[in-house]
Each structure stands twice: as structure tokens, then as C-alpha cells.
Structure 1
């Protein structure tokens, strides 16, 4: 019997997945007639009909389902073998897909992604910033970048970037005529912009100083599920916001926002770059991992040396800046 080829087996998998000859042919990069010939040739050779098809539908036969159940994992093993061989190529090619959040993307663009693309011009990096926690393997990603607590236990994780922190911010417009909070408990008299995370949950406002740790159940008129929208609402004077400091930094530098309760906001661990623990990784992913390691080491060295920029706080605001009459602790 003539040996069945990989193209024929992939044709079965594609047609079973799409249940449409045109879409399956596009997936394989062949013509519809070629796909039909591959399926018919395989069915003739093994003497069994794998698909029941009419002019309007395509479905696996009982024999086809049994056949596919064995073929699909075998093809996955073959794909891994080819992927391992590609790992020895001197110049990686292809697309690297990374799932992360907005802050994660910002943290790696200049330090890792740009030098990676300069070093490997045949690679493409596809960074998706949906921000939700997802199964990177099931959704077709090569790696992810998230907070350490969000990394699945079966993944290999590397620290990436510098330590992070949150910031409580407000616009000078909001603070006009109000007492700036000097203790987290003061938030009870302020309008706070809350952010929805992980489906229906609300982000916790956590504070820490010395041995004191507080989680404040803030209240406010607006709930949003997007970090940038929260910052924009704070700039517009809706209320106080508890946000990623890196995202707020441009607004703090321009004076559109000021930072509050600075000594109470705890530092957060660095983000984790994570990927499946395969024995053989694609060359492009391996090269990217090496750059992540190098960047993390450089960031750690920089964190231990050099000065730290002065933070802009409520007490730094000129009373006449942006038309503010005053910001003090006396209240109105």
C-alpha cells in the first residue's frame, strides 16, 4: 500500500475543523479541487469513507471520527519535532504571539521587543493587550506577561522589568476646595473611581506602611473596566483613582494629575514573562527569552544605582496652578 502523506492527513484535520471545503483549502494553502482530490485519494486507499458530504454540508463519518482521534495527536507530535529542528536555525523566522496587559506591553516594547526585532528582522512580534487572564496555549499564544499571581503553575516564569507600584491620583480640579487625604481612612469622604477586574470583581485599594496594612472599601459614582478610562476620568475631575503608576506618569509629569498617599502605596513585584515548559522551544521564542533575561538583569542593576526621580505630590502643586485656589489639610 502506498504510504499516506502528511498533506493528506492535514487535509483531514483541516476539513474536520472547518466542515467546509473552501475554508479548509484556504487554511492549507491549496485549491478546493486539490483538497477534494487529497480526501478522495485517502478514502480510496484505505477503503473507508471518512466524510459524509452533500452539496450543502460536510461531516465526519463514524470511521472518520475514529481516524481523526488517532491522527490529530500524531500530527501534533510531528509538529513538535519539526519545531525542535527549527530551533537550530541561526536566524529565526515567523511570528511570536504574546498575551499581556497595557502596562506589560509598555514595559517590554523598548527594552525587549525593539532590540529583538532589530536582531531578528525575519521575526514578527504580535502583542495582544486584552488584559484578561487567559490560557495562552489554548488561545494560540507563545508566551504571556502578567502579574506573578496570575501565572498558571504549569508555566515557566521569569521576572521581567522593574518593580511596579500603584498610585493614588487626583486632578487639581477635583482637589480644589477639598482636603487632600493624608491617611487611607480619609478616602471615606472622597469620591473614588473604581475599576472592575476579573469579571465582576472590583479592584482592591491596598495600603501599607511599616507593620500596618489596610484594604479600604472605597465608594464612588463611577465604575470602569479599563485602566486608561480610569485615568482619563481622574483627569476630568470625577474623583480619586488607584492606578498603575507607569500609566499615570505622563499625567503626573504634566501636572494634570497629582499623587496622594505616596508613603502608603506598597511596591509590587515585577511582572512575570511565562511560557509552556516544552523540552524544545521555537528558536524565536528562545531568542526572546534570552533578551528578557538580559533586560531583567540590567533593570535590576539600574534599580540599585542612580537617583530616583522626585514624585509629584499634592503638596508640590502651586496654589495658582491650573486655577486652584488652594490644596491643604484644613478642609472646606
Structure 2
């Protein structure tokens, strides 16, 4: 097979997985027009339409779905073979692409990122921080970070630093007209920011004290998926916010925010870096794991 044929197949594989020419171009590191040209060439050469395209969406034809089902394992095997070469390279080299939740990424990478790059000058670190649920294999990541060790089959998890916990915070001005809550039940009389996922689904404020656990469903005029904005709302005295303690810590220390219910907010589950078990770990990913692991 000619190298041009392989590049066209790789372009089709990326578009088919992402259902997007833009995302495929980002993964492949080329322009969207180059991806489109490669797929068009492939379709012309095989004489069959593989993708249905509109201005808003991309979908697979039956022929395209069949081809993708055959290509994905083949490209997986090629990737595994290339990964295997890394065992012969001791020095971290090349790109490591990692997905991490936006609300957690600063705490994980902030303390280590500078030293990691300075100590490994041939390492290229690419971190995509988003709270959207991501399939790291489909979206071309080498590894991902998440809370808890529960992973789908075929993944390896490594416990990493730090261990985080939530904090309930409000401003001194807010507490001039509201009593400081002593238990989660006291939150019923307070205006509270509703925490939501990027999908819009809300999640509860979770508390535990010894053997007692409580999930509180907050009510209030504001719903947010960004912890920085939650801190800003608390600073403005509008409502109480439930955020990662590290986000609020500078303001707690300088007195602009008051932390409450601390004894009800124990550390969360450990954070884990996870990656496909079948892949050989590159020297670059090993360097990242070494910097992050507990």
C-alpha cells in the first residue's frame, strides 16, 4: 500500500471516530481542508461514499461503518507496535497528551509542570482541561485523570497527588445577614450556588461526618460548572459556594471568604492517572507518572 493510501485511511479513521473534520484535523495536526481532501480522495479511489456530510454533521454510511470496524483494530495494532519502540528509548521524547477535569487540572499540574519540562527538554506536554466526559482512546489521548479508581476494562490506574477536598465558603458580608451553618441541615435557609456538569445536570453537595453521610441539593439563583466563577459569586456575597478547597484557600487565608462545615468535608477519593493497559508506556509518559504519583 502506498503511504498516501495509509494517510487517507488515517484521515478517514479520525473523522469517523470524532464525527468531525475539525476534531480530526486537530488530532492529526493538519488543516481541516487537508483532512477533507484526503477523505474525498479515498472515496474517489474506492468508488464508494464513506461519509454523509452536512454543514452541521458527519455520519457514516453503511460502507463507512464497515470500513471503520476493520480499520480501528488495525490502527490500534500499528499504534501498539510504535509504542513498543519506546521501551528502547530511555530519555523522554515527544508529545504526551493528557485529558484532565478543568476544575482539578491546576492542582495536579501546577506544582510539577515547570520542573517536568525543564528536566525533560525533549518532552512536549499537551494538557486538555475540560469537565466534559472524554473517551481518551477515541479522542487520541495518551492518558486521563479522574477521581476514583473505577475504570472501564482495559485501563490501568496510577494513584497521583494531591488528595483534594471540598469547602463551603461565603463572604463576611453574606454572614452579616445569615447565620454560619453548623451542620448540612442548616444550609436549607441559605442561598447556594447549584453545581452543574457541562451537560447541565446538577450534582449534590456531599458531606460526611464519622459514619454519617448527607447529600444536599442546593437551591439558589445561580447554576455554574466553573469553580472560579463559584468563588467569585461567594466573594460577591450573593450565595454560598461548594468548591475545591484549593480554589478558595487564598481568600480564606486573607479573610475575604469564611469556610464553614469543614468537619463535614473530608478528603475525596484519590485522583488517578489512567491509560490503556495494552499500550507500552513511553519514556515521556513514565516521566509524567513519576512526577505525579503518590
In the superposition, the TM-score normalised over structure 1's length comes to 0.69
| 1:10 counterpart residue number | 6
Contact 1:88 1:283 in 2 (8 A): no
Contact 2:103 2:227 in 1 (8 A): no
> What is the CA distance between 1:86 and its match in structure 2?
2.9
Separation in 2, partners of 1:231, 1:64: 47
Structure with bigger RCO (C-alpha 8 Å, 6+ apart):
2
| 1:195 counterpart residue number | 195
> What is the CA distance between 1:242 and its match in structure 2?
1.2
SS at match of 1:278: coil
| 1:239 counterpart residue number | 239
| 2:124 counterpart residue number | 124
| 1:276 counterpart residue number | 276
| 2:265 counterpart residue number | 265
SS at match of 1:252: helix
Q: Which whole-Å deviations, capped at 9, do the CAs of 1:76-121 have from their partners, x for residues lacking one? A: 4233212211331132322111111234322232444333212211
Matches within 5 A, 1:206-221: 206-221=206-221
Contact 1:146 1:273 in 2 (8 A): yes
> What is the CA distance between 1:277 and its match in structure 2?
0.6
Contact 2:87 2:282 in 1 (8 A): yes
Contact 1:12 1:68 in 2 (8 A): no
Separation in 1, partners of 2:29, 2:99: 26
SS at match of 2:231: helix
Separation in 2, partners of 1:235, 1:162: 25
> C-alpha root-mean-square deviation of aligned residues, in Å?
3.5
| 1:98 counterpart residue number | 98
Q: Which whole-Å deviations, capped at 9, do the CAs of 1:184-204 have from their partners, x for residues lacking one? A: 211111111111126233221
Separation in 2, partners of 1:63, 1:219: 50
| Structure 1 unmatched ranges of 5 or more | 41-47, 297-332
> What is the CA distance between 1:247 and its match in structure 2?
0.9
Moved beyond 6 Å, runs of 4+: 62-69
Separation in 1, partners of 2:169, 2:66: 60
Q: Which whole-Å deviations, capped at 9, do the CAs of 1:189-230 have from their partners, x for residues lacking one? A: 111111112623322122222333222233212111211111
| Structure 2 unmatched ranges of 5 or more | 54-61
SS at match of 1:164: coil
SS at match of 1:87: helix
Q: How many residues align?
A: 268
Contact 2:80 2:279 in 1 (8 A): no
SS at match of 1:99: strand
Give the greater-gyration-radius structure (CA).
Answer: 1
